[in-house]
Amino acid sequence: MEAQTYTIEDVIAALNDVGYVDENVINYIVPIIAYESRVNGMPFTQDAKDPTSDSWGIYQTNINTEMAAIYKVMVDEGVELPGMTDLQKKQLETNIVAEDEKDVRKFTPKQKKVVREFLKEADLPTQTKIFKEMYEIKSGEIKSDKTEDVMESLYFNTTRKFYTDKQPEAVKFKAKMDKEVKLYTKKKMEDDYIMEKEKVNQEEIDKFKRMAAAQSSGAPNPNVRTPREMEFADKYKTPLDPALNSSLINVYSTLSKAKKKAIDSGLQVL
């Protein structure tokens, strides 16, 4: 069966869903994750397996070092591990080992078998939840919330290839992913602008519909002449005397202002 892969849009959307929305954070995280999850050159492969460690999935979750993060999400997903003791549960839930306790957070061989299958089958949203737990735990361990520090601790080899050794193959791959992230960001901004513009246009349309509905309901409009005003205007619509014409215009203006004042005060105008 062909391995499940995801697009960069899928991965960024999944990261957004768990709280990673800052553009700079996304720009830093995504190329590293893409490099980590390659299978035959294809990034973001769901069941990617590291050839040198027991690490699985898009975020290359290591079952020998990220036990607490894995366990929390497995519990949330309703997956049970065999042979769990009360002490192991407590330590995995808190990720704390008391001074007088033996560290039993490591998975047993039987538990590892279940964990491997879980990671292989976990979809993108589930794997991203595990990554968030990994990230937060590591941030607490190193006492830093800087993305660069946390990602270096989680993905030491890849960050070293990208930023320290500047390995040609890794740098080339990173440049490609940087470009794709920028293109995604640009397209999203354009799409968001179009959606916002359409929203504003729709609001204007709805506004005019409401105005039309109000007019059709019979509510008096101060800018529309009443039958009495029309009768008065028809009677004197072609005055021959310019002075009289000017006087009539003033009369119309006064009538309109008086009508508006009457309407505003709640009076019925015929």
Mean pLDDT rounded to a whole number for the chain:
86
Domain count, the chain: 2
Residues 137-156, mean pLDDT to the nearest whole number:
97
User: Are 61 and 150 members of one domain?
Assistant: yes
Residues 36-55, mean pLDDT to the nearest whole number:
94
Q: How confident is the model at residue 191 (pLDDT cuts 50, 70, 90)?
A: confident
**Inter-CA distances, 195 with 1, 185, 191, 199, 207, Å:** 39, 15, 6, 6, 18
User: Are 154 and 226 members of one domain?
Assistant: no
Answer yes or no: are the C-beta atoms of 148 and 123 closer than 8 Å.
no
User: Are 162 and 95 members of one domain?
Assistant: yes
User: Are 128 and 245 members of one domain?
Assistant: no
Is there a domain that residue 113 lies in?
A: yes
User: Are 169 and 226 members of one domain?
Assistant: no
Is there a domain that residue 255 lies in?
A: yes
In sign, the C-alpha dihedral spanning 193, 198, 204, 210 is: negative
User: Are 258 and 188 members of one domain?
Assistant: no
Is there a domain that residue 188 lies in?
A: yes
Is there a domain that residue 203 lies in?
A: no
| Whole-number pLDDT of residue 129 | 98
pTM of the model: 0.73
User: Are 135 and 246 members of one domain?
Assistant: no
Is there a domain that residue 171 lies in?
A: yes
pLDDT in tens, 205-237: 777 777 777 766 666 555 555 565 566 566 555
| Whole-number pLDDT of residue 198 | 83
User: Are 165 and 228 members of one domain?
Assistant: no
Answer yes or no: are the C-beta atoms of 61 and 70 closer than 8 Å.
yes
| Whole-number pLDDT of residue 257 | 56
Provide the residue range defining the domain that includes 22: 8-192
User: Are 188 and 222 members of one domain?
Assistant: no
| Whole-number pLDDT of residue 227 | 64
User: Are 182 and 233 members of one domain?
Assistant: no
Answer yes or no: are the C-beta atoms of 99 and 126 closer than 8 Å.
no
Is there a domain that residue 144 lies in?
A: yes
Is there a domain that residue 164 lies in?
A: yes
Is there a domain that residue 1 lies in?
A: no
Q: How confident is the model at residue 269 (pLDDT cuts 50, 70, 90)?
A: very low
